[in-house]
């Protein structure tokens, strides 16, 4: 019985840190060797980090990545190493290199290049054409990269007909709500359809607005999970794949046997023989990490994405305004979980409209989290603003101008602290507000990063409740009181907006699903409300374009995931 030991190296690489990524890869190769591993597999473009974007236009960047491949190959003595890198021939390719005993034995170039959502690989890479099979002791292992496996046909089906018992698929697949489960179910279908075992290795880590969840796994020919790594953590996951058992399963299948008997090898199929003897080894336990509720995944994604953005960009501490509301309370909690209490600073900036309860709630939250706070009242400065502007504003009624002035004073305070101490400001706005422009440019929108930018208000409450179920830090009253910007007497969000449970559903349909306005109305939503919400979404693109980036968690986030023109006269 030949069991192939595969190590799934789910690592967190940093875009552009080719030297650091290479050192980490080599470290993991050494770990894998200690367990008598036959093949160690790393994620897509692990050497360069993903996505490298326009760094790919720099020849020096490409060449340094190629030198890294050579260095890693020298460390691959008696262990087959599969790494994602940028291959350069007449053009550049998103590739998987097969390294063994100091040599690059084979290179597979990605065939299906995603060009939707946050992906624009067609901008950079050429499509591969050759299908690559590794022949190890008479057993065949096929290679594929990320998007390739989403297509029922080539290269997966061809690899199966060519005799592959195992298909290795390396990935840089970012997280969004529901995607880990959907991804896993899709791979199970591919495994069952082709009677192969699939090794799915995914990147983990935050990169700007993207966060990669890991969740690497191995699926058997019957679609059952054999092993699964953790979510949002680096891990080296070991699994033993019974090649003889897969061979016997395939031999008994009439459909596959008939396909193979009538099949003629295509010109673009390259079979590479690797003279590696599969090691005899003691059986290891197959580890399967249990699934968690989706709300737990969302929370972990926000914590992980914030931590990586701060650390990878060489910041230490963050600062944010504490209003006593649900948004700032959740962001402060996420920040403490991501960075530690000593690296989070809270600022209370009360005005005459700030309720006593809001101040109490903000201070209670800060005490529960153990963070340092500063209180900087804005009332005197606000009155001075009004005094200076009074000759020009004379005769004009109070409106959003005066409300926005307060928000911009607070923004100035936060940016002053940022400049003086080097703290990065966290904006606390959510997706519901950003969708309809219920936010102030250069006010509450200031900041270097917006952790909950892609989180709907209704989800904000669910996340707060989830976090309190672990340990209670957010005061009950924050969860219970009606949300308010507190910029005028007795202000409530629902004075200016539809109830959030209605607003969020309309935004999801219009922004994420691209459902036309008339169809949304036909679903039973109030016509006047729908037209108003859609008008607000369309007319506030200019604001969103100036907002700080934040972590993508939904099917379609603002920014590179939804690229609408600012100057635009089309209306649905």
For 11-79, list the strands marked E by DSSP.
Answer: 39-41
User: Which residue out of 110, 230, 345, 453 is catalytically annotated?
Assistant: 110
User: Which residue out of 3, 24, 44, 209 is catalytically annotated?
Assistant: 44
Task: Give catalytic status of residue 110 as yes or no.
Answer: yes
Alpha helices in 370-523 (DSSP H): 379-393, 400-421, 431-436, 457-470, 476-480, 493-496, 500-507, 517-522
Roughly what angle, to the nearest 10 degrees, separates helices 243-252 and 254-262? 80
User: Which residue out of 146, 235, 433, 486 is catalytically annotated?
Assistant: 146
Report the phi/psi class of residue 431: left, alpha or beta, with left for phi > 0 and alpha for psi in -120 to 50. Answer: alpha
Q: The dihedral of CA 426, 428, 433, 435: what is its sign? A: positive
Q: Residue 124 — φ and ψ, nearest 5°?
A: -115, -40
Owner of token pair 């706005």: 429
Task: Give catalytic status of residue 345 as yes or no.
Answer: no
Task: Give catalytic status of residue 146 as yes or no.
Answer: yes
d(CA 426, CA 74): 44
Can the peptide bond before residue 139 be classed as cis, meaning omega within 30 degrees of 0?
Answer: no
Run of H or E including 130: none
Contact of 141 with 108, CB cutoff 8 Å? no
Owner of token pair 């100036």: 546
d(CA 445, CA 56): 32
Run of H or E including 487: none
Q: Say if strands 217-219 and 225-228 run parallel, antiparallel, or are unpaired.
A: antiparallel
Contacts of 66 (CB under 8 A, 6+ apart): 85, 86, 88
Q: Indicate which residues carry an active-site annotation.
A: 44, 110, 146
């Amino acid at each position: 019985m030949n069991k192939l030991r595969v190590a799934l190296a789910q690592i967190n690489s940093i875009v552009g840190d080719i030297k650091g990524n290479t050192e980490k890869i080599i470290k993991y190769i050494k770990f894998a060797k200690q367990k008598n591993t036959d093949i160690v597999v790393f994620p897509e473009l692990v050497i360069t980090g993903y996505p490298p974007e326009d760094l790919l236009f720099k020849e020096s960047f490409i060449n340094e990545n190629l030198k890294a491949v050579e260095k890693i190959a020298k460390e691959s003595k008696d262990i087959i190493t599969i790494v994602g890198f940028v291959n350069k021939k007449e053009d550049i390719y998103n590739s998987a290199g097969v390294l063994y005993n100091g040599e690059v034995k084979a290179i597979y170039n990605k065939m299906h290049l995603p060009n939707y959502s946050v992906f624009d690989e067609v901008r950079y890479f050429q499509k591969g054409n050759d299908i690559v099979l590794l022949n190890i002791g008479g057993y065949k292992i096929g290679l594929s990269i990320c998007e390739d496996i989403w297509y029922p046909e080539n290269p997966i089906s061809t690899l199966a007909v060519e005799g592959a018992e195992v298909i290795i698929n390396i990935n840089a697949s970012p997280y969004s709500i529901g995607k880990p489960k959907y991804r896993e179910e899709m791979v199970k279908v591919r495994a069952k359809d082709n009677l192969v075992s699939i090794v799915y290795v995914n990147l983990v880590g935050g990169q700007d607005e993207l966060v990669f969840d890991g969740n690497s796994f191995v699926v058997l020919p019957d679609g059952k999970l054999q092993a699964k790594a953790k979510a949002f953590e680096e891990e080296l996951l070991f699994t033993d794949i019974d090649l003889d058992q897969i061979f016997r399963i395939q031999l008994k299948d009439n459909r596959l046997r008939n396909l193979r008997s009538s099949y003629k090898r295509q010109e673009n199929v390259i079979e590479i023989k690797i003279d590696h003897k599969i090691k005899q080894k003691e059986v290891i336990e197959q580890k399967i990490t249990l699934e968690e509720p989706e709300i737990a995944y969302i929370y972990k994604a926000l914590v992980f994405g914030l931590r990586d953005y701060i650390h990878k960009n060489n910041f230490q501490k963050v600062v944010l305004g504490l209003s006593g509301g649900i948004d700032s309370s959740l962001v402060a909690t996420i920040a403490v979980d991501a960075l530690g209490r000593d690296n989070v600073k809270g600022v209370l900036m009360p005005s005459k409209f700030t309720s006593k309860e809001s101040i109490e709630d903000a201070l209670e939250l800060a005490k529960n989290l153990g963070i340092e706070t500063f209180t900087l009242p804005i009332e005197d400065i606000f009155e001075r603003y009004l005094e200076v502007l009074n000759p020009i504003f004379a005769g004009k009624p109070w409106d959003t101008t005066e409300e926005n002035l307060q928000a911009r004073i607070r923004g100035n305070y936060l940016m002053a602290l940022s400049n003086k101490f080097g703290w990065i400001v966290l904006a606390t706005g959510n997706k519901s507000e950003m969708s309809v422009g219920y936010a102030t440019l250069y006010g509450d929108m200031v900041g270097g990063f917006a952790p909950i930018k892609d989180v709907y208000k209704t989800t904000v409450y669910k996340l707060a409740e989830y976090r309190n179920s672990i340990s209670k830090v957010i005061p009950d009253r924050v969860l219970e009181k009606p949300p308010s910007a507190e910029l005028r007497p007795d202000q409530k969000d629902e004075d200016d907006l539809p109830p959030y449970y209605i607003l969020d559903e309309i935004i999801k349909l219009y922004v994420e699903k691209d459902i036309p306005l008339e169809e949304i109305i036909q679903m039973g939503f109030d016509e006047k409300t729908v037209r108003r919400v859609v008008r607000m979404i369309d007319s506030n693109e200019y604001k969103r374009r100036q907002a700080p980036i934040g972590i993508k968690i939904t099917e379609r986030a603002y920014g590179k995931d939804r690229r609408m023109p600012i100057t635009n006269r089309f209306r649905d």
